[in-house]
């Protein structure tokens, strides 16, 4: 049986896990959006998930994503860029994605805003926070966030709507919990410092193996790939 045929069942199992995690945390499951991460999988997988009611899809490469968007045109899906955004792809990304999760500084934010103005789009954006300080990780360091949110206030087309984190990979989700908690605390500190609440509404955190913990810690967007689509052979 091709995995494609299993997608509806896998998707509903993930939705069930999400609902139970939210309920256990005393939260409304509707306050957590599931982004199905379809990177590396063909458009047939996207169609199978869309037929099962999935609307939000996540991709980590602009070029690959734009190809799928064209093939899936007519399905009215929302596409999220969850991978690193290079400055020279800002124009394409601003034109194509509903939400960009990987804003890593004021410069990139301004660039995406200018591109969105030109393209006539109004994308949402999340500021990715680098909590680990690993050389390979992307994101703004916590001490840079004040500048990024100052830049967010002058955006004309892009709406900054929250924060995103991609923690180092641990097998035990409990080891990831401190990163999720830290992102929530940073959100609270920014709010106390006067950043407008709509700019801090979303916390994008949690993947296939740790999204329940992320929901307990306040995630409003979870990005789930392999639990829905199967194991990937590349990133």
Ligand X SMILES: *Cc1c(COP(=O)(O)O)cnc(C)c1O
At closest approach, how far in Å is the CB of 120 from ligand X? 27
At closest approach, how far in Å is the CB of 233 from ligand X? 12
User: Residue 131 or 166: which CB sits closer to ligand X?
Assistant: 166
User: Residue 208 or 220: which CB sits closer to ligand X?
Assistant: 208
Per-residue exposure over 103-112, b if at least 16 CB sit within 10 Å of its own CB, e if not: bbbbebbbbb
Q: Which residue is nearest to ligand X (CB)?
A: 225
User: Residue 184 or 223: which CB sits closer to ligand X?
Assistant: 223
Strands in the chain per DSSP E = 33-37, 56-59, 78-81, 99-103, 124-128, 159-164, 202-204, 221-224
User: Residue 83 or 105: which CB sits closer to ligand X?
Assistant: 83
Q: What is the DSSP letter of 140?
A: B
User: Residue 110 or 138: which CB sits closer to ligand X?
Assistant: 138
Distance CA 20, CA 50 (A): 22
At closest approach, how far in Å is the CB of 168 from ligand X? 12
At closest approach, how far in Å is the CB of 225 from ligand X? 3
3-state secondary structure at position 121: coil
At closest approach, how far in Å is the CB of 24 from ligand X? 20
User: Residue 156 or 235: which CB sits closer to ligand X?
Assistant: 235
At closest approach, how far in Å is the CB of 62 from ligand X? 13
Distance CA 214, CA 203 (A): 9
Residues that bind ligand X (CB under 6 A): 37, 39, 60, 82-83, 166, 207-208, 223-227
Tokens encoding 165: 């984190």
């Amino acid at each position: 049986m091709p995995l494609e045929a299993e997608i509806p069942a896998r998707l509903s199992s993930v939705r069930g896990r999400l609902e139970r995690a939210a309920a256990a945390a005393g939260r409304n499951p509707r306050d957590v959006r599931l982004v199905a991460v379809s990177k590396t999988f063909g458009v047939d997988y996207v169609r199978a998930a869309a037929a099962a009611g999935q609307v939000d899809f996540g991709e980590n490469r602009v070029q690959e994503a734009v190809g799928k968007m064209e093939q899936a045109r007519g399905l009215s899906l929302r596409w999220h860029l969850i991978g690193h955004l290079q400055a020279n792809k800002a124009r394409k990304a601003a034109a194509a994605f509903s939400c960009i999760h990987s804003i890593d500084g004021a410069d990139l934010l301004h660039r995406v805003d200018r591109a969105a103005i030109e393209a006539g789009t109004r994308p949402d954006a999340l500021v990715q926070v680098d909590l680990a300080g690993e050389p390979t990780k992307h994101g703004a360091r916590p001490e840079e966030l004040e500048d990024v949110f100052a830049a967010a206030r002058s955006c004309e087309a892009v709406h900054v709507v929250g924060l995103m984190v991609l923690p180092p990979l641990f097998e035990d989700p409990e080891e990831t919990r401190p990163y999720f908690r830290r992102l929530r605390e940073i959100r609270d500190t920014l709010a106390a410092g006067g950043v407008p609440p709509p700019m801090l509404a979303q916390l994008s955190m949690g993947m296939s193996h740790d999204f329940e913990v992320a929901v307990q810690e306040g995630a409003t967007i979870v990005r789930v790939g392999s639990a829905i689509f199967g194991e990937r052979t590349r990133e």
